[in-house]
Structure formats: structure tokens, C-alpha cells
Amino acid sequence: MISPRTGSADLLHQLDLLKVELDGPIASVRLNRPAKRNALSDPLITQLHAFFVNLPDSVRAIVLSGEGEHFCAGLDLSELSEHSVAGGIAHSRFWHSAFDQVQFGRAPVVAVLRGAVVGGGLELASAAHLRVAEDSAIYALPEGQRGLFVGGGGSARVPRLIGYSRMADMMLTGRVLDADEGQQVGLSQYRVRDGEGMAKAMALARRIAENAAMSNFAVIHALPRIADMSQSDGLFVESLMAAIAQAEPAAKDRMRAFLEGKARKVRKA
């Protein structure tokens, strides 16, 4: 059993269902159940939650991927049949807690999507901040065909990416989207060829890690909350967040560098 407050160094040795590599300010986290297409078991969810809660202080950006040919084929259905109604609610909330740490943790997350991005796998991907899709990526929400409903936060996150009607279509009819269709509707922001996803995600993560920490915090914590507010409330919170960010020493140093012509130029990702 992994304690959610395990020290970072000790924790890395316990994550047998994840492959974690630290490269300076970048953490690469790979789901490690390739024989099960990285299906999400309770122990795997526990390890994801523990990693994000205990993120090393040095990490400024995270790349999330799956070992083998698939990102994640969703819930390990062998664990579902034993739940009562109360147990099912607790299980769903357990997933919510873990995926909230992905979305609202300390560092931005870039997901690499290949092969199956299905059910709970799509729910996990939707908790990331950026998504890079390879040619092989396919997206599906088969819960409706199996007499189920999403339970890992998909009903709250996926419609914010693609809209209610598209998600309803996927659940009601079992429609499967390929990588290009997923890109068109907003499931990914970047499209690359097979085998190129990790390099692209690492390049994006390195750019993200160069940002001021408070700016990244504002984007992943304040921005989604502002989007859920009324316009007047959102504008007020925006003013607060802008004032906090620009008061940070790192922001002052960056503005000084810009005025002196030493700042990084705007460039295409």
C-alpha cells in the first residue's frame, strides 16, 4: 500500500505500474500495463494519485504516456462487477480524486496519445492540459454500449473539449473517432506521425518548463475556473490573478529582459 504522503525518492521505487523518468525539470510518466493495453486498475489509479501528490519539487512539466502501442484502453472491467451502488460511487470519487491531481496539480501535463484512448483512457487524457495525438490514436466512449456511464470525470471534462452533442453521439452510438477526427473536434492540439509523439511532447514540456511558475499556475488553476464563471466574476478573478503574477520577481525579471531585447522571441511550436 502506497501512502499518499510518501517521500518522493522512496515513492519512485514503489511505482511498479508506472515508468517514471526525471530529466531536469521534466517528468516522464508512462502507464505500465502494456499486456492490458494500460487498462486502469485500482492499483494503477492509486499509483497515479500518489505520484502527482508527491511530485518532486524540481518538476516543472510532465509528459504522460502509455507503454506499448496504446495510451489507455479504459477501466479494467474485471474490477467493476463487485461494486454495490455505494461502492460504485466511492470508486468513481476515487478516480475523481486521482484525475483532479492531474488537472489541478503543481505542473502542466502533456499527454501522448496513441492507439486506444478509450473510456477511462479518454477521461484521463482529458485531465491533461495539452494532448499530442499520433496517427494510430482512436477515441471511444463505449460505456453506453455496455450499460454503463462514465465515472472518471468524463462528463465534466470531455464536453468542455468537444461539446455535449459530440460526446452524446460517442456514448449513444459507440462512434469511434480517428486521430484526424479527434484533432478536428478538439481532443488533441497537436497531430504527429506514429512514433513522433514523445519527442513532440518533450519539446512542448521543455517550453512550458521555461515559463514563470506563477504563470503556469494561473493557466492550469485559474483559467479553467474563470471559464466556468459569469463574465463579471471571471474578469474580477482575472484582475486578481494578473496582479499576483506580475508582482512575482520572476515576472519582473522577464519583463526587464524583454525591454532590454534579451527575451525569447515569439516562435511557432
Among the options 21, 79, 134, 143, which is catalytic? 143
Q: Is residue 216 a contact partner of residue 251, using CB atoms and an 8 Å limit?
A: no
- For residue 116, which phi and psi values (nearest 5 degrees)? -70, 125
Q: How far apart are CA 107 and CA 117, in angstroms?
A: 22
Q: Is residue 172 a contact partner of residue 202, using CB atoms and an 8 Å limit?
A: no
Provide the edge-to-edge strand list for the sheet that holds 61-66. 18-23, 26-31, 61-66, 109-113, 130-133, 190-191
For the question of residue 143 being annotated catalytic, the response is yes
Three cell numbers at 162? 468537444
| C-alpha distances out from residue 141 to 170, 177, 189, 221, Å | 6, 10, 20, 27
Helix pair angle (154-162, 120-127), 10° resolution: 70
The single-letter DSSP state of residue 144 is G
Three cell numbers at 5? 504522503
Among the options 123, 196, 238, 260, which is catalytic? 123
Q: How far apart are CA 37 and CA 206, in angstroms?
A: 28
Q: How many CB atoms lie within 10 A of CB 164?
A: 11
The single-letter DSSP state of residue 223 is H
For the question of residue 210 being annotated catalytic, the response is no
Which residues are catalytic, by number? 123, 143
